[in-house]
Amino acid sequence: MDLQLGGKVIVITGGAKGIGAAIARACAQEGAVPVILDRDKEAGDQMSSELRGSGARGADFLALDLCSAQSCREAIDRVAKTHGHIDSLVNNAGINDGVGLEHGTPAQFVGSLERNLLHYYNMAHFTLPFLKDARGAIINIGSKTAVTGQGGTSGYVASKGAILALTREWAAELLPFHIRVNAVVPAEVMTPLYRQWLSTFPNPEEKRQKIVSKIPLGQRMTEANEIASTVAFLLSSQASHITGQHVYVDGGYVHLDRALT
């Protein structure tokens, strides 16, 4: 299937590692120009070099902290100046930071919202003029925790719940401009951050096996490239009549009866 992404400039936050990196690779494979925004300079430089080495001409990387609205504005201005246009935005950056209700403070909760939610709005806001010109698309990466809860991570879950709501709100608001907005919702995906979380348990492999045993389809974790393929499709003209959707790529983790496992 030709996704017709050739030459499209796609901004991807948190694109240096994990799911974001997989999305950048998938877009590059379709001929798009991925522009990675990430605070990890070393990983970002490596990723952009990899993309260019694989033939992704124009692939770019900007090192920045997305918590500042001003830095988001400056990044979008720079991308537009360098590439001349912006066709789509993938809001992906975030971290399950463990700011809970009991073990957390109001200030820490606000900080978690800054790390996980506010830059989704800021990036969409500053990118919007270019998306209007391109009749582009926004993909928001969510999390199953927004609908299942997890415990001990109020800031992250509040952010992810808001992201699902904003996906529908933006889809409604941007209808006149033919800008499509969708969310992709993973559950259990092995990423560097997920591996780091597993390492906090006395027996990480035992914990991993316990988790995958509850995933209905194949009793395995979702792969990052499976998330990325869905994102690439939703960005493309092949998904031209899909907007306001929450697309779960999770092997049935959220919606199927666990008794099936």
Instruction: Find how far residue 59's CA is from the centre of its chain.
Output: 18
Residue 146 burial class via C-beta count within 10 angstroms: exposed 0-12, middle 13-18, buried 19 and up: buried
Q: What is the DSSP string of 93-110?
A: --------SSS--HHHHH
Residue 140 has phi, psi (to 5 degrees) of -105, 125
253 given a catalytic annotation: no
Residue 144: both structure tokens together: 């199953």
Q: Which of 120, 121, 156, 248 is catalytic?
A: 156
Do 177 and 131 form a contact (C-beta atoms < 8 A)?
Answer: yes
Find residue 35's DSSP bridge partners.
Answer: 11, 60
Which residues fall within 8 angstroms of residue 185, CB to CB, at 6 or more apart? 142, 143, 144, 146, 147, 164, 246, 247, 248, 249, 250, 254
Please give the single-letter amino acid code of residue 243. T
> Contact 56/28 with Cβ under 8 angstroms?
yes
Catalytic residue set: 156
